[in-house]
Amino acid sequence: MATDVGGLTATTTGVTVRNLHRSFNRSGGVLNGLDLDIAPGEFVALIGRSGSGKSTLLRALAGLDRDVQGYGRISVPEQVSVVFQDSRLLPWKRLLANVTFGLDGKDAAERGLRALTEVGLAGRESAWPAELSGGQQQRAALARSLVREPQLLLADEPFGALDALTRLQMHELLRKLCAVHRPAVLLVTHDVDEAIVLADRVILLDGGVVATDVRIDLAQRSQADPGFAGLRHQLLDALGATGEHLGSDFIAPGQRRVS
């Protein structure tokens, strides 16, 4: 089994994407010959403007793009877990059953309980999902992906719907869990700060390919680091979010776009 961490094959499988093309209609592709490598245990944050193909890439890696046109080569580890923006807990299952859903084996419940403890939800295993707050639901979703010991964790804006304080707590939690479990991570986010604080590497999609690929070598993972502002500016600039790039897309209130 590939979950055998001691085996050579398991530790060397990362993510390899070569010449990936995906398009939803004839007029133009969302991904146009994208190449990407993620090493085992590497934390990669994926940013880009809306419509740049972040989610398309993530869904391709998750194996959820059956009906999308395109071609290219993808190789991912055997054990892949996905965390969505919404927690997707089944409302008719109690928390523990949600976390262990699809697991078999006698120790499933025990592993589920351990995972719930890891994300700080010990004692809530028999709660209904509807009784939890948004942050708790997302933590349960995290527990559900980690209980499978993934070699690759795909996260599609997992903290996008959370408030700022909860989001900071989740950053801390995710970083801790990744340090323990060492999965390769691909985190899709629209938050540049989040990307810099969490990831080993930030890549930016533009025009359907990787436009920018930055390694984050900050001494301390916070905005207090002197290098933070520079990185932040560099990435925002590449995103076209700083002043001079607003250009034609920017419409002042009351104006109408002439097309």
Partner 1 sequence: MTSTALDRTVVAEEPTRDDVRVLRRQLGPGPRIRFAFWIGPALLLAIWVVGSLTGFIAPQVLTAPWDVVKEFGDQWSNHDLLGNITASLRRVVYGLTLGTAAGFALALLSGLSRLGEAVIDGPIQIKRAIPTLALIPLFVAWFGIGEQMKIITIALISMIPIYINTHNGLRGIDGRYAELAETLDIGRGTFLRHVVLPGALPGFLLGLRFAVTSAMLGLVVVEQYNSLSGIGHMMTLAQEYGQTSVIVVGLVLYGLYGFLADAAVRLVERKALSWRRTLEG
207 HSE (CA, 13 A, CB side): 5
Q: x-or-dash pattern for partner 1, window 97-116, by CB under 8 A?
A: ----xx--------------
Tell me the closest approach of the beta carbon of residue 63 to partner 1, in angstroms.
Answer: 8
Q: How many residues bind partner 1 (CB under 8 A)?
A: 20
For residue 124, state whether it binds partner 1 (rule: CB under 8 A).
Answer: no
Choices 30-38, 77-85, 205-213, 222-230; region in contact with partner 1 by CB under 8 A:
77-85
Three-state SS at 37: strand
Residue type for position 236: L
Q: Return the number of the residue (106 or 215) whose C-beta is nearest partner 1.
A: 106
Is residue 88 close enough to count as binding partner 1 by CB under 8 A? yes
Residue 223: both structure tokens together: 């905005």
* Nearest residue to 22 (alpha-carbon basis) of 10, 14, 32: 32
Site string for partner 1, 16-55 (x = CB under 8 A): ----------------------------------------
8-state DSSP, 42: -
Only one of the segments 45-53, 90-98, 181-189, 242-250 lies at the binding site for partner 1 (rule: CB under 8 A); that segment is 90-98
134 binds partner 1 (CB under 8 A): no
- Closest residue by Cα to residue 158 from 86, 228, 110, 236: 86
Alpha helices (H) along the chain: 8-12, 54-62, 95-99, 108-118, 134-146, 164-181, 192-198, 226-239
Where do contacts with partner 1 occur on this chain (CB under 8 A)? Answer: 62-64, 80-82, 84, 86, 88, 90-93, 101-102, 128, 130-131, 144, 148
